[in-house]
A and B are shown apart, each in its own frame.
Chain A
């Protein structure tokens, strides 16, 4: 702080610290800066990531899980980076640091558990439906994790948000974000969108977060959503449906609202959907 600066009231400073949007973690900022260079240096990237032992360990764990779909196991950070490629490494670091950055009261344990499982299922689905959607598994995984990142923030800002969530989760006739907007003038999708923007995620991912409850956009061809954003949304929604069916977790009515359109767009008939469901039952979703 400048020596001549007037000191701000203690309370204001504290409030700034407490209410800030989770800032882009320093390690992610360094990773993104490196990846955006014309000639990114993979070794420099490995040095940045290895400097945080926690992130380095999680990176290996994440990329070696079957949901990332890598053909080989990575034993070192450098190997992980060369297996993943640069963009996917940045996405993996974003996913790993997300949970650390957001409010994590114990009542959110189930939320995080579901989010993680949906992310894994999305990564798996991206591999299963590769020919139809052309989405890399890591991208589907990252998007699914960030998709609802606005929810913990809404919960921490609005004391009555629990009730809103309950209504939005059970109401079939109105849009999820419509209910949020009516009560809080904004929605977790918009908050998540700004979060992904300030964390420098790819533009298609940011847009997908913003629109992931927009049933009409998802059901039709339009200029608002790119093909990639639409596919990300559909994969995550399908993953959520599979999780609901296989574990009873995650109670929303979103599949009732957009499931039919998603199946049509992905070219999935009842048999194909049933097959995915059967395969998903056997996936070790709880494992790291």
Chain B
């Protein structure tokens, strides 16, 4: 028995794994390694280190269900044996362990948040030693992946397979997102949309950016993970709030410009979307008409009550709605007459091959005409070359957006860009 924790010691861990591997059809193991634990010993001394280890061990113990076994397999490493439980339970437990260890712990006068790396493996047709080896290897992989709180699920063989790698990437992005939330890694960039009928600013679209240390996570990698994990709701609320602040600031500084925010299905179907929007409008002096929600066409065609009700509430509150990336979904034209949007943004795929692509040009013309007849403003996205600009000007679209005018700008540069634009 390990003296400090009362858990199985290293030798007992191995014996117990062997015993359970013989007797159980299902056996999962979690190899939990405390990250940077050496720092505790160095900064606070070994007595404090032992005390912290004991308290962390108690937290681990509290997560384990009866029938499971826990051991101290290394100085700062624990082994959890889950006989008769499926891999999904082991993975869920890994999540709980990350959460419980992260809760700050007071060491003397400082707060310590313990992170850990976890390797998970389930028994195949192999020996107990091989099972432990795979769990250890998965833990090492988790550690090397750099995320503060990572779980790697071992594959069937010791060498890993693509499924494992995929899972690891996803988990590590999720952890990076949590990290970015804690450290202010999220920011918004703004890309102006230029109204070509009167050379004014039609809107500025807010685009989320995520930076962790020196690494920029591209939106197409982190947004799907944020949507899948539900983090998008918190992030979405933050985006609306930050964008509203920006619009307020622009208004107060003489740029009464709409700020457009992308809203996802997860947000629109989340409870309290309306009430959060109302909270925003209660605390912000911003005229609601200066806030625009951009939604993909499939959301407008969603017949679920929650989505409908939330869209109606947004319109009733005075916000404007835009159909984003039009042309990439079903693009059912018949729906256009019923949806409460007053702007249609044509997807960049129609612009990309202009002026050569005559078919795209014909579509742009036709949709522009139709949408305008229905009272909508039409925007073409992804304008990058002067030739595209000239062609689009001939189609009658109202507004354009793209790198030809500017890349998305950080908050600090937006105002001076708008001032320069006005001056020209």
Q: Do residues A136 and B111 form an inter-chain contact, with CB atoms below 8 A?
A: yes
Q: Do residues A21 and B254 form an inter-chain contact, with CB atoms below 8 A?
A: no
List A176-221 residues whose CB lies under 8 Å from chain B: 181, 184-187, 190-191, 193-195, 197-198, 200, 202-203, 206-207
Of A10-18, A235-243, A257-265, A280-288, the one contacting chain B is A10-18
Of B10-18, B96-104, B157-165, the one contacting chain A is B96-104
B275 at the interface (CB under 8 A from A): yes
A250 at the interface (CB under 8 A from B): no
Considering the chains assembled together, what is the distance between the CA atoms of A36 and B248 in angstroms?
Answer: 26
Q: Do residues B103 and A71 form an inter-chain contact, with CB atoms below 8 A?
A: no
Q: Which residues of A contact B104 (CB under 8 A)?
A: 87, 134-136, 139
Considering the chains assembled together, what is the distance between the CA atoms of A153 and B283 in angstroms?
Answer: 8
Q: Do residues A5 and B111 form an inter-chain contact, with CB atoms below 8 A?
A: no
Q: Do residues B111 and A38 form an inter-chain contact, with CB atoms below 8 A?
A: no
Given A36-B184, A186-B282, A190-B276, A134-B59 contact (CB < 8 Å): yes
Within the complex, the shortest CB–CB distance from B321 to chain A, in Å, comes to: 19
B371 at the interface (CB under 8 A from A): no
A1 at the interface (CB under 8 A from B): yes
Determine the interface band of chain B, counting residues with CB < 8 A from chain A: 35 or more
Given A2-B253, A87-B111, A194-B241, A20-B279 contact (CB < 8 Å): no
Q: Do residues A185 and B213 form an inter-chain contact, with CB atoms below 8 A?
A: no
Q: Do residues B275 and A187 form an inter-chain contact, with CB atoms below 8 A?
A: yes
| Partner of A197 from B213, B241, B254, B255 at Cβ < 8 Å | B241
Q: Do residues A194 and B103 form an inter-chain contact, with CB atoms below 8 A?
A: no
Q: Do residues B284 and A20 form an inter-chain contact, with CB atoms below 8 A?
A: yes
Q: Which residues of B contact A248 (CB under 8 A)?
A: none
Given A2-B419, A153-B283, A193-B279, A185-B254 contact (CB < 8 Å): no
| Partner of B248 from A20, A184, A197, A224 at Cβ < 8 Å | A20
B44 at the interface (CB under 8 A from A): no
A51 at the interface (CB under 8 A from B): no
Q: Do residues A36 and B111 form an inter-chain contact, with CB atoms below 8 A?
A: no
Residue of A with least CB distance to B105: A134
Q: Do residues B278 and A197 form an inter-chain contact, with CB atoms below 8 A?
A: no
B56-87 vs A, CB cutoff 8 Å, 1 = contact: the mask equals: 00110000000000000000000000000000
Considering the chains assembled together, what is the distance between the CA atoms of A84 and B110 in angstroms?
Answer: 6
Within the complex, the shortest CB–CB distance from B247 to chain A, in Å, comes to: 11
Q: Do residues A186 and B109 form an inter-chain contact, with CB atoms below 8 A?
A: no
A271 at the interface (CB under 8 A from B): no
A258-276 vs B, CB cutoff 8 Å, 1 = contact: the mask equals: 0000000000000000000
Q: Do residues B282 and A157 form an inter-chain contact, with CB atoms below 8 A?
A: yes
B270-306 vs A, CB cutoff 8 Å, 1 = contact: the mask equals: 0010111011101111100000000000000000000
Within the complex, the shortest CB–CB distance from A68 to chain B, in Å, comes to: 11
Within the complex, the shortest CB–CB distance from B59 to chain A, in Å, comes to: 7
Within the complex, the shortest CB–CB distance from A147 to chain B, in Å, comes to: 15
| Partner of A227 from B103, B213, B279 at Cβ < 8 Å | B103
B94-121 vs A, CB cutoff 8 Å, 1 = contact: the mask equals: 0000011011111011110000000000
Q: Do residues A136 and B106 form an inter-chain contact, with CB atoms below 8 A?
A: yes
Q: Do residues A185 and B284 form an inter-chain contact, with CB atoms below 8 A?
A: no
Within the complex, the shortest CB–CB distance from A14 to chain B, in Å, comes to: 10
Q: Do residues A71 and B108 form an inter-chain contact, with CB atoms below 8 A?
A: yes
Q: Do residues B253 and A207 form an inter-chain contact, with CB atoms below 8 A?
A: no
B398-424 vs A, CB cutoff 8 Å, 1 = contact: the mask equals: 000000000000000001001100110
| Partner of B283 from A13, A71, A191 at Cβ < 8 Å | A191
List B111-170 residues whose CB lies under 8 Å from chain A: 111
Q: Do residues A185 and B283 form an inter-chain contact, with CB atoms below 8 A?
A: no
Q: Do residues B279 and A16 form an inter-chain contact, with CB atoms below 8 A?
A: no
Within the complex, the shortest CB–CB distance from B354 to chain A, in Å, comes to: 33
Q: Do residues B280 and A194 form an inter-chain contact, with CB atoms below 8 A?
A: yes
Q: Which residues of B contact A206 (CB under 8 A)?
A: 234
Considering the chains assembled together, what is the distance between the CA atoms of A190 and B237 in angstroms?
Answer: 10
| Partner of B422 from A2, A32, A71, A223 at Cβ < 8 Å | A2
Considering the chains assembled together, what is the distance between the CA atoms of A27 and B102 in angstroms?
Answer: 28
Within the complex, the shortest CB–CB distance from B176 to chain A, in Å, comes to: 14
A25-63 vs B, CB cutoff 8 Å, 1 = contact: the mask equals: 000000011001010000000000000000000000000
Q: Do residues A21 and B234 form an inter-chain contact, with CB atoms below 8 A?
A: no
| Partner of A5 from B182, B230, B255, B286 at Cβ < 8 Å | B255
List A141-193 residues whose CB lies under 8 Å from chain B: 150, 153-154, 157, 181, 184-187, 190-191, 193
Given A4-B419, A190-B276, A72-B109 contact (CB < 8 Å): yes
A105 at the interface (CB under 8 A from B): no
Considering the chains assembled together, what is the distance between the CA atoms of A198 and B237 in angstroms?
Answer: 10
Within the complex, the shortest CB–CB distance from B255 to chain A, in Å, comes to: 7
Q: Do residues B285 and A16 form an inter-chain contact, with CB atoms below 8 A?
A: yes
Within the complex, the shortest CB–CB distance from B419 to chain A, in Å, comes to: 4
Within the complex, the shortest CB–CB distance from B296 to chain A, in Å, comes to: 25
Q: Which residues of A contact B100 (CB under 8 A)?
A: 134, 227
B245 at the interface (CB under 8 A from A): yes
Q: Which residues of A contact B418 (CB under 8 A)?
A: 2
Given A16-B252, A206-B234, A187-B111 contact (CB < 8 Å): no
| Partner of A38 from B181, B213, B255, B285 at Cβ < 8 Å | B213
| Partner of B253 from A5, A19, A190, A226 at Cβ < 8 Å | A5
Q: Do residues B252 and A4 form an inter-chain contact, with CB atoms below 8 A?
A: no
B251 at the interface (CB under 8 A from A): yes
Q: Which residues of A contact B254 (CB under 8 A)?
A: 1-2, 5-8
A82 at the interface (CB under 8 A from B): yes
Q: Which residues of B contact A12 (CB under 8 A)?
A: 251
7 contacts between A and B (CB under 8 A): A6-B254, A15-B285, A20-B248, A186-B282, A187-B279, A194-B241, A226-B99
Give B contacts to A, CB under 8 Å: 58-59, 99-100, 102-106, 108-111, 178, 181-184, 213, 230, 234, 237-238, 241-242, 245, 248, 251-256, 272, 274-276, 278-280, 282-286, 415, 418-419, 422-423
| 10 A-B pairs with least C-beta separation | A5-B254, A19-B285, A21-B283, A190-B279, A186-B278, A2-B419, A186-B279, A134-B103, A185-B278, A16-B285
Give A contacts to B, CB under 8 Å: 1-2, 4-8, 12-13, 15-21, 32-33, 36, 38, 69-72, 82-85, 87-88, 130-131, 134-136, 139, 150, 153-154, 157, 181, 184-187, 190-191, 193-195, 197-198, 200, 202-203, 206-207, 223-224, 226-228, 231
Instruction: Please give 8 more A-B residue pairs, beta carbons under 8 A apart, in addition to A135-B104, A153-B283.
Output: A1-B253, A2-B254, A8-B252, A16-B248, A88-B111, A186-B278, A193-B276, A227-B99
